[in-house]
Amino acid sequence: VIESNHVENTDHNSIQVVGVSAGPDVTITGNTLINWDQNRDADGGRAIRINFDPVDAETALSVIGNTFEPNDNSAPVDADYVKITGVSTVDNAVENLIDSLIWQNTWPNGTNYSTVILVNSTTGPDLELPFSEEGPDTITIEPGESVTLTVADNNQEEINVIVPIELIQYLDQNKMDLEIETPFGRISIAAEDLGAITSETDLEFIVNPSTNSEAPTIEELADLMAAADINTDLTGKEIVVIGLPLIVTSDIYNVEVSLIIPLADYDEGEIYYVYVEHSDGEEVLVPGTVVDFGDGKGIQITVNRFSTFTVLALEDEVPEETTETSATEGTSETSATETTETSPTEESTEESSEASDGDGETLPKTGESAPVIPYLMIVLAGLALAISIRIRLANGKHVD
């Protein structure tokens, strides 16, 4: 094991392993290799030179997690950074080793792998990944399965990811999936669908959240559900927008893509859907699948074009009885207060004789109903506020 070394300014090779034959497994990992072949003499030099002699199918070789920083020699004697010979050709060992060299080590921006990697007589692919400092932070791989472009959470309001068309073609040829991981969501294209991408130029994906959290009304949601053959009883339900809508744009069309949107404050008891608004005005409702995403949960859907995606939850509506009870309680309190101030029955009986003249005629009284008016106004104002809140919720807007 050759691990965690800082090797700089060597005259020949930075790391050299030769004469390996049916020995222990070889692991080269976590090393930083800088400015090999510093004297630039006729002997040349490389970052890593390994030779199995004779060809060895038993010894496992792992070269991962290393960082390559070459010198500035524009015409080196040895153009390749890594040369490995005597590798067995059994079970695609050469191809798998080249894949791991590319994807599981850190190379300078703009590296062309057909120049810097040589295994037996096979070079790396003619693949250049010109990621800038503003591009994806890391590229990881599960050999033979997928490549993930990961964009770190750096508080960007908009994330722009450029995927070189050479990478798309490479993944298509090697039957590998593509994943783009961002703080706002994950975009995945399966290996079998990459061939449907007809573009001859680099692909661009723009991902950003929207501050417009408009949602369909219950009536509109019912129509969307009917169109999607979704049978859900909306009785007593209201719509709540979860998180911020996600806007995804790209220059690929009619390609099946998996999209995972994070679920804020996931509740196992809630029902989630994704409301999709296409740029041509079409609106659809897509039932999703709740999956693990980051440290929490996300909702996964499959689409064939990018649009605006809003996660909706159906929650139990606050019973109307709450508003009615509040109004009733207010009325009861008003009546009790009025009774404390005056007892209409007794006062009427006592004053009837005082207010009567000799002929038994009752004179009119004033001011008895005055205390009722302020309390009635309070009750009506409270009822109006409750109705206003319910209308906003019914229209599908989230109210904090």
Pairing mode of beta strands 82-87, 48-56: parallel
In 78-173, where does DSSP find H-type helix? Answer: 93-103, 113-116, 165-173
Per-residue pLDDT, averaged over 50-54, amounts to 83
| Same domain, residue pair 74 and 3 | yes
Token couple for 363: 């004179």
| More confident of the two residues 380 and 65 | 65
pLDDT tens, position by position, 288-324: 899 999 889 999 999 998 899 999 988 776 665 544 4
Say whether both 278 and 385 belong to one domain: no
* Long-range Cβ contacts of 268-274 (<8 Å, 24+ apart): 270/313, 270/314, 270/315, 271/232, 271/313, 271/314, 272/242, 272/299, 272/311, 272/312, 272/313, 273/230, 273/311, 273/312, 273/314, 274/299, 274/301, 274/309, 274/310, 274/311, 274/312
Cis peptide before 371 (omega within 30 of 0): no
102: pLDDT confidence band, cut at 50, 70 and 90? confident
Residues 105 and 242 in one domain: no
Separation of alpha carbons 165 and 202, rounded Å? 5
pLDDT in tens, 125-181: 887 664 444 445 566 666 567 778 877 665 667 888 888 888 888 888 888 899 998
Q: What digits encode the pLDDT tens for the residues 243-267?
A: 889 999 998 888 999 999 999 888 8
**CB-based burial label for 25 (10 Å; 0-12, 13-18, 19+):** exposed
Q: Please indicate whether residue 90 or residue 131 has the higher confidence score (pLDDT).
A: 90
* pLDDT confidence band for 23 (50 / 70 / 90): low
With a CB cutoff of 8 Å and minimum separation 6, the contacts of 50 are 16, 17, 18, 20, 26, 61, 63, 83, 84, 85
Of 82, 113, 128, the residue that ends a domain is 128
Supply the mean pLDDT for the chain.
75
Tokens of 345: 């029955």
Q: Are residues 66 and 196 in the same domain?
A: no
In percent, how much of the chain has pLDDT > 70? 71
**pLDDT computed for residue 390 by the predictor:** 27
The range of the structural domain enclosing residue 391 comes to 318-341+371-400
The CATH number covering residue 269 comes to 2.60.220
Helix (H, G, I), strand (E, B) or coil at 316: strand
Asked if residue 1 and residue 99 are part of one domain, the reply reads yes
Q: Provide the pLDDT for residue 73.
A: 62
Per the structure, the count of domains in the chain is 3
CA–CA gap between residue 179 and residue 171 (Å, rounded): 11
Phi-psi region of 398 (alpha: psi -120 to 50; beta: other; left: phi over 0): beta
Question: Is residue 351 included in any domain, yes or no?
Answer: no
pLDDT at 152: 67
Q: Of 302, 317, 332, which closes a domain?
A: 317
Question: Of the residues 128, 146, 163, which one is the last residue of a structural domain?
Answer: 128
Q: What is the pLDDT of residue 45?
A: 93
